[in-house]
Amino acid sequence: MKFLTKKQCKKFINLAVARIAEYIKGNNLKGITLGISGGIDSAIVSVIGLRAIDLLKKDGYEANYEYVFLDCESDPIDYRRAKAHAKVFGYKLKYLDLSKWYQVSPLLRSIPKNHLREKVAKGNIKCRLRMISLYHSAQLNGHIYLDTDDLSEEYMGFWTKHGDEGDVKIIQHVTKSELYDLGKYLGVPKIILESKPGDGLKVTESNMASDQLGLEYIYIEYIISEMIRAKFDCNGSWDQLEKRKFKVKIKQIASEIGKEEAAVYKVIRQSLKTAFKRKYGDSVKHLLPNRKEFGFIEFGTEEFAKKQLYEIKK
């Protein structure tokens, strides 16, 4: 593992399991609903959810789960990853094909041909159809719909409002890189651990997040953390980019990670551009909002930067 120790992984998982179990029981819910995408985020959340269900049952509280792969013109590899994960952890994975529903949506016809944001708009429709499906399932079963967004996606605005958001956040304050360490700790199958993060929405030809964001998450995490350490406000004004101290910092970061300054600027602009998504909260329960509580290095600190930069250079 690169960023976390086994002790840190164990502490986080145990806390997350206990918090979900407490939330379900405290709100008299009957279980959890989750979309399994074949990616690392839902892979981690699903295992935590299963363990929470087991914990509740041991305490005499009956609860269950519904995990479903929502196909919406998805890449077949995503479903193979999801099935591999289900096999390893022994849970029932439902399959629901939303492709025809998406293809007949009148919203598609409202998008002007060759519009600058055509692919993003189409991806958002897919994401929101999945949201409707999962909330529908949760409503029928008396469940809570679990959120799978992480900290790296949060700062990049790399999620769809009223789309891939759930009712309860578990990994919101964990970086994408740390999630891969949690995956190794839990025994997530290699087909997932060795895959690069994507969006599953075909916004780009490759479906890779790095193609949309410009860099891989390990670089993004370092850039954002270091800018925060330099007192840059990712929810603040664009005028910050004109300040000399931030121009100097950006140049320094580019040199440290061996990337062009333009690539660093692209990451920062993406964060500023999506600030409106973060500014006013998300009206959902954060079960683990404090990184100190589960023993992870604080984001935006020198200690975090040293560890991240070591792995980048290695």
- Minimal CA–CA distance to 193: which of 39, 15, 297? 39
Query: CA 176 to CA 181: how far, in whole Å?
Result: 9
Question: What does the mean pLDDT of the chain come to?
Answer: 95
What is the Cα–Cα distance from 258 to 253, expressed in whole angstroms?
A: 8
Q: Could you give the CA distance from residue 52 to residue 199 in angstroms, rounded to a whole number?
A: 27
Tell me, yes or no, if the pTM score tops 0.85.
yes
Contact of 145 with 170, CB cutoff 8 Å: no
The per-residue pLDDT for 105 is: 95
How many of the other CB atoms lie within 10 Å of CB of 103?
10
Give one word for 169, left, alpha or beta, with left for phi > 0 and alpha for psi -120 to 50.
beta
CA-based nearest residue to 198, from 181, 216, 183, 182: 216
With vertex at residue 204, the alpha carbon angle to CA 122 and CA 69, rounded to the nearest 5 degrees, is 65
pLDDT in tens, 268-279: 999 999 999 998
* Residue 159: closest CA among 129, 211, 124: 124
Span 150-170, average pLDDT: 93
The residue assigned the tokens 């980048």 is: 312
Q: Which one is the CATH code of 6-313: 3.40.718.10, 3.40.50.620, 1.10.287.1080, 1.10.645.10?
A: 3.40.50.620
Separation of alpha carbons 287 and 123, rounded Å: 28
Exposed e or buried b per residue across 81-97, where buried means at least 16 C-beta atoms within 10 angstroms of its C-beta: bbbbbbebbebebeeee
Over residues 217-223, the mean pLDDT reads 97
Task: Tell me the domain boundaries of the chain.
Answer: 6-313
How far apart (Å, rounded) are the C-alpha atoms in residues 224 and 233? 10
Beta-bridged to residue 169, according to DSSP, are 147, 286
Report CA torsion sign: 181, 174, 225, 266: positive
| pLDDT at position 205 | 64
Q: What is the pLDDT of residue 165?
A: 87
Q: How confident is the model at residue 13 (pLDDT cuts 50, 70, 90)?
A: very high
* pLDDT tens-digit series, residues 64-78: 999 999 999 999 999
